[in-house]
Amino acid sequence: MKDLFADRMSKVPKSFVREILKVTEDSNIISFGGGLPNPDSFPHTEIAEAASKVLTLESREALQYSTTEGYKPLREYIAQRYCKGGLKVDADEILITNGSQQGLDLVGKVFLNKDDGVVVEHPTYLAAIQAFGMYEPKFHSVKLMEDGPDTVALENLLKKEKPKLFYCVPNFQNPTGISYSEDKRREVAGILRESGTVLVEDNPYGEIRFMGKDLPPIKKFLPDSVLLGSFSKVVAPGIRLGWVAAGEEVMDKLVTAKQASDLHSNYLAQRIVHGFLTQYDVEKHLDKIRTMYRRQRDLMVNSIEKYFPDGVTCTKPEGGMFLWVTLPEGVSSMELFDLAIKENVAFVPGKAFYAEDPEINTMRLNFSNSNEEKIVEGIKRLANALEKIL
């Protein structure tokens, strides 16, 4: 059988995070490893009521096949929300997908031939490497600084390599929690404008800002780009709904690619989510998530400052679900992982998040999916492991 698999399957590794999560299934382990939202944040009752309404009142339509583009009122809702935030988007420029992860796959399918260049952040979202990797591109990476990418390096890379895509996560990035400043957003748009490279801006965390002021998407300064969104972090990931916003020419290709993949996204789920979004107080729901995650982030950052040894630093994200820890030069977070598991605490070593030249002294901690007691106890355990390795 081995000889029958397509070449691409030998080049794309299994998700390292998923492998790590298997180790952490033991209930004694406190895991900061996964990228899961807090289930206490899900609108359980509201979704149950919305589902019941759809199934009672609209089941003939909701259980039927539907259009590839997605449920029109849901696309209108998304477009209006963008417009309210100052980004002009039409409902026809929205394609509903099976999570934003499918959006990444479709973008890869539409743009990438083997050996085409893709620029990603250094570090970047692991599953984007996996999704684009299926189309066998050449990855290049651009260093992420405190306020966004190294724009000199980005400009040089675009000139030298002429990549097809630049993929980035400007809000509370997974894995680092870093956000681009407004200046960097404008600068990135300027660099990309005449470059012949398409910007793919991924924004699943933008609504979970718990500090600071909202910043416009780069698409605002570069309308001819692709913007991905998701309901996973603001409603629930199990529903598997996200979207791609793109202009007519790209949208046409994305729709063809999606038709070939799965005809359309779960229509029943689209109507339920639309019911939730339009019949309940969504702002109140979002505030609940923001308050919860802010408290958890504060606790994790404060515990790190209190218990971690000198020489270990971490980012202090203004939103999202992750923070990024840097150990002293030369210290391996993979080695720390083994010690941490013995202390019954887990995280994801940073190595997993680099498309090239991994920095071994980094690691990602998730703060959204642990309660306050576990955050303090888990950081104490991690501090014990750190004392041993340092």
161 CB neighbour count, 10 Å cutoff: 15
Q: Which of 259, 353, 287, 225 is closest to 41 using CA atoms?
A: 287
Q: Which two tokens stand for residue 358?
A: 């991994």
Tell whether residue 99 is a contact of ligand PLP (CB under 6 A).
yes
Q: Count Cβ neighbours within 10 Å for each residue of 192-223 and write b for 16 or more, e otherwise.
A: beebebbbbbbbbbbbbbbeeeebebbbbbbe
Nearer to ligand PLP, 120 or 385 (CB): 120
Cα–Cα distance between 232 and 241 in angstroms, integer? 7
Tell whether residue 100 is a contact of ligand PLP (CB under 6 A).
yes
Under 8 Å between Cβ of 67 and 95: no
The full length of the chain comes to 390
105 CB neighbour count, 10 Å cutoff: 23
Nearer to ligand PLP, 230 or 370 (CB): 230
Tell whether residue 170 is a contact of ligand PLP (CB under 6 A).
no
One character per residue 244-273, x = contact with ligand PLP (rule: CB under 6 A): ------------------------------
Pick from 202, 207, 318, 343 the residue near ligand PLP by CB under 6 A.
202
Instruction: Give Cβ neighbours of residue 151 (< 8 Å, ≥ 6 apart).
Output: 184, 187, 188, 191
Residues 342-361 binding ligand PLP (CB under 6 A) are none
Tell whether residue 148 is a contact of ligand PLP (CB under 6 A).
no
Tell whether residue 101 is a contact of ligand PLP (CB under 6 A).
yes
Tell whether residue 237 is a contact of ligand PLP (CB under 6 A).
yes
Tell whether residue 319 is a contact of ligand PLP (CB under 6 A).
no
Classify strands 165-168 and 198-202 as parallel, antiparallel or unpaired: parallel
Nearer to ligand PLP, 163 or 242 (CB): 242
Nearer to ligand PLP, 232 or 361 (CB): 232
| Radius of gyration over every alpha carbon of the chain, rounded to an integer in angstroms | 21
Cβ 321 to ligand PLP shortest distance, Å: 8
Q: Taking each helix axis as running N to C, give the angle between helix 99-111 and helix 248-262, from 0 to 180 degrees, rounded to the nearest 10.
A: 110
Pick from 43, 70, 137, 204 the residue near ligand PLP by CB under 6 A.
204
Instruction: Using CB under 6 A, count the residues that bind ligand PLP.
Output: 13
Tell whether residue 166 is a contact of ligand PLP (CB under 6 A).
no
Scan for tokens 């000139």, then name that residue.
Answer: 159
Pick from 130, 197, 230, 270 the residue near ligand PLP by CB under 6 A.
230
Tell whether residue 179 is a contact of ligand PLP (CB under 6 A).
no
Tell whether residue 174 is a contact of ligand PLP (CB under 6 A).
yes
Tell whether residue 123 is a contact of ligand PLP (CB under 6 A).
no
| Whole-number Cα distances in Å, 133 to 12, 86, 127, 137 | 6, 34, 9, 6
Pick from 171, 179, 225, 232 the residue near ligand PLP by CB under 6 A.
232
Tell whether residue 317 is a contact of ligand PLP (CB under 6 A).
no
Binding segment (CB under 6 A) for ligand PLP, from list 21-29, 56-64, 98-106, 247-255: 98-106
Cα–Cα distance between 10 and 217 in angstroms, integer? 36
Cα–Cα distance between 335 and 340 in angstroms, integer? 9
Q: Which residue minimizes CB distance to ligand PLP?
A: 99
Residues 25-44 binding ligand PLP (CB under 6 A) are 35
Q: Which parts of this chain interact with ligand PLP (CB under 6 A)?
A: 35, 99-101, 125, 169, 174, 202, 204, 230, 232, 237, 242
